Amino acid sequence: MANTSLSGQQDSFRVGSLLTDERSRGIVLQLLVLLGVALFVAFIVSNTIANLQNAGLASGYGFLDDTAFFDINQKLIDYSSQSTFGRALVVGFLNTILVSALGIITATLIGFIGGVLRLSDNWIVSRMVTAWVEFTRNVPVLLQIIFWWAILTGLPKVRDSIALGDAAFLNNRGLRMPAPILESGMEWVIAAFVIAVIAAIAVSRWARKRQEATGQTFPTGWTALGLIIGLPLVVYLILGQPLDWDLPERTRFNFRGGFNITPELIALWFALATYTGAFISEIVRSGIMAVSRGQSEAAFALGLRKNQTMRMIVIPQALRVIIPPLTSQYLNLTKNSSLAIAIGYQDLVSIGGTILNQSGQALEVVGIWMAVYLSLSLATSAYMNWYNKRIALVER
């Protein structure tokens, strides 16, 4: 009888210690939360499967092999209405990559120029840039996209196109430009360009090590420019200029030849670049202001000009402050590109929406959207984190 009483006291003591011990209580609560989440997910999955069965829809990605039966006006690869849903999604993915890459490059240039000019000693320039930044940042990007699209679609019709020389034409259907035709031997020109880029990087590293060891500078910029332009140009001329152009020709109702950049792409590109560029300009301005003024004063004392001080002293140090928030702006621009559906630019979301309406495979299409944007964001973050570590200060 005594043993039974002692055993009961020990069990109650264990339960009591389990509830009073902070670490044990935390483990129990986490297990309960995990169990609750698992039950909730199981309920959602089972309910979704039942609803799909009742609607006569089979889950899976087999629908990607079905014929699309719709056209795409902006495409980087061959596509027709007889292509599959899968190929249509690839076209949309490439269109998303295109506008995101163009937007990131342009927004970075706009942001750095705007950030530097806002700190200019010229009162008019500084206030003009400030007004642009404040206006652009405080107007929703969707309204800016629609605004630029409305302007571009209000251009003259095809028969009244604005001629830019004899090669390009601007109208309400977009910008018609000459299309390059790569002839035999052009692959050697491309190979020469790649070799020139690699050589320029090697020269830059060698010049940096040489300067650290001896203090002697080397014209890295001019050398890299000469390699990247000169070597491919020499190969191009030696091979007899293996590049031709398909010039656009005006017909009765449209143009024949060349390639067309749609107003939707231009409007989306310009709106995303200017909107994100306004935020980047503030990031650049704050990064420059974070660098001690003594750095600039020391550079001036050594005889460096203002532009040299900014380029060689201030900006390299400011990058350590600029890069982390700059990464967030790149991610925002990529995700904001999905607003293209508002003006009819056929990106991943727009084409996926058409496929969703035709096939009824909502979960699968949304899953593809999420996977693609997640992959793009993770890839961008990984690259920017690598670059941030590369330029970080190394303590000795």
pLDDT tens track for 266-292: 999 999 999 999 999 999 999 988 888
- The runs of H, that is alpha helices, within the chain are 2-20, 22-55, 85-118, 123-137, 141-153, 186-214, 220-238, 263-290, 293-301, 306-309, 315-336, 348-359, 362-391
- Mean pLDDT of all residues belonging to the chain: 86
Residue 181 DSSP one-character state = E
Assign 3-class secondary structure to 221-273.
Answer: HHHHHHHHHHHHHHHHHHCCCCEEEECCEECCCCEECCEEECHHHHHHHHHHH
pTM value is 0.81
Give the pLDDT confidence score for residue 57 in this predicted structure.
64
Q: Worst-scoring range by mean pLDDT, 109-118, 301-310, 376-385?
A: 301-310
- Quote the CA–CA distance of 326 and 105 in Å, as a whole number: 12
* Tokens linked to 7: 């055993």
CATH architecture of the region 85-177+262-391: Orthogonal Bundle (1.10)
Rounded mean pLDDT of 369-385?
93
Domain ranges of the chain: 2-55, 85-177+262-391, 179-246
Q: How confident is the model at residue 393 (pLDDT cuts 50, 70, 90)?
A: low
pLDDT higher than 90, residue 260: no
CA 91 to chain centroid: 17
In percent, the amount of the chain with pLDDT more than 70 equals: 92
Which DSSP string corresponds to 301-316?
HTT--HHHHIIIIIHH
pLDDT tens digits, 319-331: 888 999 999 999 9
Rounded mean pLDDT of 204-233?
86
Give the pLDDT confidence score for residue 56 in this predicted structure.
65
Give the pLDDT confidence score for residue 192 in this predicted structure.
92
Rounded to 5°, the CA angle 43-44-50 comes to 90
Q: How confident is the model at residue 209 (pLDDT cuts 50, 70, 90)?
A: confident
Rounded mean pLDDT of 359-384?
91
Give the pLDDT confidence score for residue 220 in this predicted structure.
84
Query: Cβ contacts of residue 271 below 8 Å, gap of 6+?
Result: 141, 144, 145, 147, 148
The dihedral built from the CA positions of residue 170, 175, 181 and 185, taken in this order, carries a sign that is positive
